[in-house]
Amino acid sequence: MRAVVCKALNGIEGLAVEEMAEPPLTAGSVRIAVEAAGLNFADTLIVTGKYQQKPPLPFVPGFEVAGRVIDCGDGVGHCAPGDPVMALIDRGGFAEQVVARADDVFVLPAGIDAVTAAGFPVAYGTSHFGLKVKAALQPGETLLVHGAAGGVGLTAVECGKRLGATVIATASGPDKQAVAAAAGADHTLDARDPDLKDKVKALTEGRGVDVVYDPVGGALFEASLRCTRSGGRILIIGFASGEVPQIPANILMVKNISAIGYYYGPYRELAPAAWRASMQELVDWLGQGLLRPHVSQTYPLAEAVAALRALKERRSTGKVVLTV
Ligand SMILES: NC(=O)c1ccc[n+]([C@@H]2O[C@H](COP(=O)([O-])OP(=O)(O)OC[C@H]3O[C@@H](n4cnc5c(N)ncnc54)[C@H](OP(=O)(O)O)[C@@H]3O)[C@@H](O)[C@H]2O)c1
């Protein structure tokens, strides 16, 4: 099969499409003919050795795919050859075939195409589980979402609205703010506005927001600390800015703020029932037309480097997807 291979940790420019052996099918797993693969910011990090997972070289990046089931290992009951599916995987998605754990494979609702589905599991899964389970977002609360036109941020806007929150979204510039507004954000602010924290406070009548969803870090995290209400929660998603914030513990103490560290992937093992229930609710919402996944760009597999460059250079909104 053809796959995008990382042979050295020298970044996305070092990736190359090569022929390689198909992964073996094992009990409890599913072989999928990949039709599309979703890109994530983490793909740009894992190929430099700066991601929390450091697979041995060579490896194939790619955390999520959609396609058709080719065959199933022993003990797999919920999907069959020919079914259209999407799947989460530890790596290997930028390839013509993947083998995924059956628990991480979801049959697609009718009418959902592979490009839409390929970019679905990581972003929606992270936001839904994070907001509903980790931050316990309640109807009527106010949610501040940073990076709100990006992959995870845009799904946090949608999930926040579906969970009954008022959503304030930040993104860089009017075009990206418009994308967040189209996904349902009640208010949008420019992430580069020096008066951001005051504007967030003004939108909450001086009180501050109940919950912050922060995939960006750096200066936006600093601003968040100052516009979260007493007793509020900050969900730490990631550091797309490249700056890992250092948290002054006195502010957390004085304002009774909970800073919640959150890494979605391990919840497949930490809380498998809650993890699967979250993803099933998302699949149901998708099938009912309650979500509007936004894919801004697609590239063929052979152009994976250009696709990752677009993501890294902030030229995408929502998801970027490779077609295979
Ligand atoms: N904790 C978890 O389980 C989990 C799961 C998925 C992703 N993440 C993390 O969440 C972050 C976002 O991932 P993603 O896939 O949504 O990425 P993405 O689509 O590239 O979105 C990132 C957003 O961050 C903003 N940003 C601000 N400064 C940036 C910079 N210097 N470079 C790039 N973007 C910058 C951009 O918005 P503006 O241009 O509007 O400022 C961009 O839309 C990453 O750090 C990723 O590792 C964490």
Cα(241)–Cα(187) distance, rounded to whole angstroms?
A: 22
pLDDT tens column, 182-222: 999 999 999 999 999 999 999 999 999 999 999 999 999 99
Q: In the chain, what percentage of residues exceed pLDDT 90?
A: 100
39 CA closest ligand 1 atom index: 15
What is the number of domains present in the chain? 2
Strand-pairing partners, residue 71, are 31
Residues 89, 53 share a domain: yes
Is position 268 within any domain?
Answer: no
Cα(89)–Cα(265) distance, rounded to whole angstroms?
A: 9
pLDDT tens column, 65-119: 999 999 999 999 999 999 999 999 999 999 999 999 999 999 999 999 999 999 9
Which of 211, 239, 261 corresponds to the end of one domain? 261
Q: Is the CB of 217 under 6 A from ligand 1?
A: no
Residue 118's pLDDT is what? 98
CA of 150 to the centre of ligand 1 (A): 6
Cα(316)–Cα(324) distance, rounded to whole angstroms?
A: 20
pLDDT tens column, 239-282: 999 999 999 999 999 999 999 999 999 999 999 999 999 999 99
Residue located via tokens 């007493």: 230
Is position 287 within any domain?
Answer: no
Residue 296's pLDDT is what? 98
Residues 227, 113 share a domain: no
Asked if residues 293 and 287 have their Cβ atoms less than 8 Å apart, the reply is no
- CATH label of the domain that carries residue 75: 3.90.180.10
Q: Is the CB of 263 under 6 A from ligand 1?
A: yes
Residue 135's pLDDT is what? 98
Mean pLDDT for 38-51 is: 97
Residues 311, 182 share a domain: no
Dihedral angle of Cα 72, 75, 79, 84, to the nearest 10 degrees: -30
Is position 180 within any domain?
Answer: yes
Q: Is the CB of 191 under 6 A from ligand 1?
A: yes
Residues 160, 249 share a domain: yes
pTM beyond 0.95: the answer is yes
Residues 255, 165 share a domain: yes
Reported as half-sphere exposure (CB side, CA atoms, 13 A), residue 253 has a value of 3
Mean pLDDT for 139-167 is: 98
Residues 112, 150 share a domain: no
Asked if residues 131 and 137 have their Cβ atoms less than 8 Å apart, the reply is yes
Q: Is the CB of 66 under 6 A from ligand 1?
A: no
Residue located via tokens 């504007």: 199
CA of 156 to the centre of ligand 1 (A): 12
CA of 81 to the centre of ligand 1 (A): 35
Which of 239, 261, 283 corresponds to the end of one domain? 261
Residues 100, 27 share a domain: yes
Residues 245, 132 share a domain: yes
Residues 112, 131 share a domain: no
Residues 112, 10 share a domain: yes
Q: What is the mean pLDDT of the chain?
A: 97
Is position 102 within any domain?
Answer: yes
Is position 34 within any domain?
Answer: yes
Residue 169's pLDDT is what? 98
Backbone φ and ψ of 226, nearest 5°: -90, -5
Asked if residues 302 and 17 have their Cβ atoms less than 8 Å apart, the reply is yes
Domain extent at residue 182: 123-261
Residue 284's pLDDT is what? 97
Cα–Cα nearest to 56, from 44, 65, 46: 46
Contacts of 313 (CB under 8 A, 6+ apart): none
Is position 271 within any domain?
Answer: no
Residue 295's pLDDT is what? 98
Residues 94, 107 share a domain: yes
Residue 8's pLDDT is what? 97
pLDDT tens column, 303-316: 999 999 999 999 99
Is position 280 within any domain?
Answer: no
Cα(267)–Cα(30) distance, rounded to whole angstroms?
A: 20
Which H or E run contains 323? strand 319-323
316 CA closest ligand 1 atom index: 19
Residues 243, 300 share a domain: no
Burial of 168 (0-12, 13-18, 19+ CB in 10 A): buried
- CATH label of the domain that carries residue 143: 3.40.50.720
Range 108-142 burial, b when 16+ CB lie within 10 A, else e: beeebebbbbbbbbbbbbbbbbbbbbbbebeeebb
Cα–Cα nearest to 211, from 199, 200, 195: 200
Is position 201 within any domain?
Answer: yes
CA of 171 to the centre of ligand 1 (A): 11
Residue 318's pLDDT is what? 98
